[in-house]
Structure 1
Amino acid sequence: MDASPVDVDLALVGGGGAASLVLAALDRHDLTGLRVAVVDPVHKRGQDRTWAFWGTPGTDLDPLLSASWSRVEVVTPAGRRVLSLDPLRYAMLRSGPVYDRAAAAERRLGVVRIGAPAGALRDDGHRVTVHDPHGRVLVRAGWVLDSRPRPPERPGRTTWLQHFRGWWLAADRPTFDPDRAVLMDFRTPQPARGVSFGYVLPVDDRYALVEYTEFSPALLTDAGYDAALRGYAARLGLDLAALRLREVENGIIPMTDGPFVSRPSPRVVRLGTAGGATRPSTGFTFAAMHRQADQVARALAAGRPPVPAPAYPGRHRWLDAVALRALDRGHVGGVEFFARLFDRNPPERVLRFLDGTTTPAEELAVMRSTPLLPMTGAVLGDAVDRLRARLRRGPAPGGAAEAGPGGSVGPTGGRTG
């Protein structure tokens, strides 16, 4: 790499899923005149993760999907429900095609790739300099999109993790139902504090991802995840001795009401989990990243700053904080909470609520379907905690504001997110 800094219009710091979606969106909007650089010591390739999300068919992602389903199952100890998602669909996307598409976009756009780790970003309000960890300037850019993982600005009142392990299992004979996915199967042993479930995403009748997931404050050991998966496979009637384990996937996603600042300085925008794209109550991230990548490209194509809208409305972050508090304090059981959501609402409404795209009227309907007294207690407790935190911190002009039912989080002078 040349020792002299690169001058570009846009620098992507971090080259994972969020940056890959941005590159594809820039290419889709034919922004070939834009000078772009990617700063990341690792050039992502191959299968290192699987994203599952819901949305409407007919998007740019359709050619990349491994599978999609118009029906899913939700299973509780009380029974099994098969839900029709029309007009939505639940889809599975592996990382390999996303990275391949981004690499092709890089070539067409003439992107400069800098294979070095990024350190500090220095923003003078006109240009941003991207430094390496030793202070050397790597890039000067008009705008920086930073997708490097980072913790929230300050600890949340509730901090959980979505943590999981999945096995890609192959069979020699028809074993799985390719027409429907198991979205949540709550017949797994429930942790003392939290909620667990299994799910099954079949690519075809002989190949599927079988996964065990927990929403809880603490991780399991490797042996704990494997034991949970063996138990869930037995619950499904799968003979593991007759199946081949092709791949293992692990993941840890933050579930916290701590604020993530999406615009830390005038010309730096954070994407991915660091920019608030992860829904705190569910861990879903991909759909928000995809929406924001398209917003970035549309803005640049129109000559506007590449600042996407907030990933979720402020009222959703408040609802997430209340739900996390209710689960964490034991006001409501996790299985009961999710079972009631699906029992008392149309599936399409629940899925859009979990993804953060419902209207206020729909959210009121969803709230009415949850246990009233426990959730009221969680609302009051959350309000008291917010007040105490605000009194401890005192007024903070120019800082990030706390999100409430009608508010949003964002630094002074920037777009909220």
Structure 2
Amino acid sequence: MTAAPPHFDLALVGGGGAGSLVLAALDRHDLRGLRIAVLDPVRKSGQDRTWAFWGRPGTDLDPMLSASWSRVDVVTAAGRQVLPLAPLRYAMLRSAPVYARAAEAAERLGATRFDAAVGGLADDGSGVTVRDTDGRALLRAGWVLDSRPRPPVRPGLTSWLQHFRGWWVESDRPLFDPDRAVLMDFRTPQPARGVSFGYVLPVSDRYALVEYTEFSPALLDDAGYDAGLRGYLALLGLDPAQLRVREVEDGVIPMTDAPFPRRPSPRVVRLGTAGGATRPSTGFTFSAMHRQAGEVAAALAAGRPPVPRPAYPGRHRWMDAVALRALDRGRVGGPEFFQRLFDRNPAERVLRFLDGATSPAEDLAVMRSSPLLPMTSAVAGDAAGRLRARLRRDPTPRPRAGSPAEGQPRS
């Protein structure tokens, strides 16, 4: 007879950023009574990515930060804005301390590790059987938190990407201002369809992450990213030949109004980008992942299902869809759009809006600061596009007014 698979209260499928933050949050709530499994074929460690985010100081993340800034620059062809962020701060977090914190948490929680790729999740409503890629049952869990990247359930009306390459550069002489980060520098050549910008996150006056980023429908090749970075360094007055490139970081993040279901079955909950944590208008993800982790742990500590709230209010997702459509159709330019946001709103409001933390009244103020006519056109186009998409998904003919529906009795 085949032995029954082991049973756990909670299974974390994926051990990257989202899974690591959940483990740390479970540890903070001292949930050592839970039977926890972690499934990932790769044991994450070391520096493989950098997260940048904003928030208030004084959180559990503070001991792990590489740097933080109370002022940031937004640069366009019209000039440089120095934005004070108080009471928020912009912060940089590298992956190595996050993975190390998760490993410590897993040990204290007594979590069981499965170095296996998950092939299927069979949810019968009372629990979930987790299977490997060969169909064998690895375990059964009361709840599964799945943070594996996956495509949306259907294409969105607009599907862009945030894609980038960054160089960690070091110099023998002071070149950077460690008290101020460059959030967005739009002096880079703009693509025919999309938005490009550079940014600088200085750790010291001689060491910084310099990055070239595009919001656009298509990726570049390696030469394109390197050319973008060299061109941006030239705009900063820096000679790449006089810098040592210590590390290279690449990334691709979806920017789309396509749906990412947070709960594909009764006892499976998706986290991270797969669970809607990526903000469609910017690609920022980390703050929402951190909120999701805290809400999951708080719910379990209170004896509730580990289901976090939507990462962003519905009205924000709609506003993002409209903004993406306006950018995609060329009705508004990227530098113009972001410059107006920061010109006509306190920086703290813009950052809280991008985090999904503003009130409806503040959202109206943000909307008023956008180019009115192009955005109105985008709103109309978004509504028409959604109607067409709904009709394509549901082609069943509807009964005409005054005629009985199929299967209904005639009088």
Name the TM-score, length of structure 2 as normaliser.
Answer: 0.95
For the pair 1:245 / 2:245, whether they are aligned, the reply is yes
Q: How many residues align?
A: 395
For the pair 1:231 / 2:224, whether they are aligned, the reply is no
Q: In structure 1, what residue type is equivalent to 2:37?
A: A
Once the two structures are TM-superposed, the CA of residue 354 in structure 1 deviates from its matched residue by 1.5
Q: In structure 1, what residue type is equivalent to 2:239?
A: D
Please identify, of 270-279 and 235-244, the stretch whose mean Cα deviation from structure 2 is larger. 235-244
In structure 2, what is the Cα distance between the partners aligned to 1:4 and 1:184? 54
Once the two structures are TM-superposed, the CA of residue 3 in structure 1 deviates from its matched residue by 8.3
2:320 aligns with: 320
Q: In structure 2, what residue type is equivalent to 1:46?
A: G
In structure 1, what is the Cα distance between the partners aligned to 2:51 and 2:325? 27
1:356 aligns with: 356
In structure 2, what is the Cα distance between the partners aligned to 1:274 and 1:104? 25
Once the two structures are TM-superposed, the CA of residue 132 in structure 1 deviates from its matched residue by 0.4
Deviations 1:324-370, CA, capped at 9 Å, x for gaps: 00000011011110110011110001111112211111110010011
Q: Which runs of 5+ in 1 are unaligned?
A: 397-417
Once the two structures are TM-superposed, the CA of residue 239 in structure 1 deviates from its matched residue by 2.0
Q: Which runs of 5+ in 2 are unaligned?
A: 397-411
1:107 aligns with: 107
2:345 aligns with: 345
1:81 aligns with: 81
Within 5 Å, give how 1:370-389 maps onto structure 2: 370-389=370-389
2:95 aligns with: 95
Once the two structures are TM-superposed, the CA of residue 173 in structure 1 deviates from its matched residue by 1.5
Within 5 Å, give how 1:170-209 maps onto structure 2: 170-209=170-209
In structure 2, what is the Cα distance between the partners aligned to 1:207 and 1:256? 34
Please identify, of 112-121 and 350-359, the stretch whose mean Cα deviation from structure 2 is larger. 350-359
In structure 2, what is the Cα distance between the partners aligned to 1:328 and 1:71? 30
Once the two structures are TM-superposed, the CA of residue 172 in structure 1 deviates from its matched residue by 1.2
In structure 2, what is the Cα distance between the partners aligned to 1:39 and 1:355? 29
Q: Secondary structure at the match of 1:119?
A: strand
1:287 aligns with: 287
Once the two structures are TM-superposed, the CA of residue 395 in structure 1 deviates from its matched residue by 8.8
Give the direction of change, closer, same or farther, for the CA distance of 1:114–1:204 in structure 2 (3 Å limit): same
Deviations 1:33-60, CA, capped at 9 Å, x for gaps: 1000001100100000000000000000
1:297 aligns with: 297
In structure 2, what is the Cα distance between the partners aligned to 1:377 and 1:37? 49
In structure 2, what is the Cα distance between the partners aligned to 1:355 and 1:215? 18
In structure 2, what is the Cα distance between the partners aligned to 1:283 and 1:386? 22
- Greater CA radius of gyration, 1 or 2? 2
Once the two structures are TM-superposed, the CA of residue 390 in structure 1 deviates from its matched residue by 1.5
Within 5 Å, give how 1:266-281 maps onto structure 2: 266-281=266-281
Once the two structures are TM-superposed, the CA of residue 5 in structure 1 deviates from its matched residue by 2.5
Once the two structures are TM-superposed, the CA of residue 391 in structure 1 deviates from its matched residue by 1.9
Q: Secondary structure at the match of 2:203?
A: strand
Check whether the contact 1:39–1:113 (CA below 8 A) recurs between aligned residues: yes
Q: Secondary structure at the match of 1:204?
A: coil
1:159 aligns with: 159
Deviations 1:284-331, CA, capped at 9 Å, x for gaps: 000000001000000000000000000011111100110000000011
Once the two structures are TM-superposed, the CA of residue 174 in structure 1 deviates from its matched residue by 1.1
In structure 2, what is the Cα distance between the partners aligned to 1:257 and 1:316? 11
Check whether the contact 1:4–1:138 (CA below 8 A) recurs between aligned residues: no
Deviations 1:123-173, CA, capped at 9 Å, x for gaps: 010010000011100110000000010001100010000000000001112
In structure 2, what is the Cα distance between the partners aligned to 1:178 and 1:17? 26
2:128 aligns with: 128
1:6 aligns with: 6
In structure 2, what is the Cα distance between the partners aligned to 1:206 and 1:232? 17
User: Could you tell me the percent identity over the aligned residues?
Assistant: 80
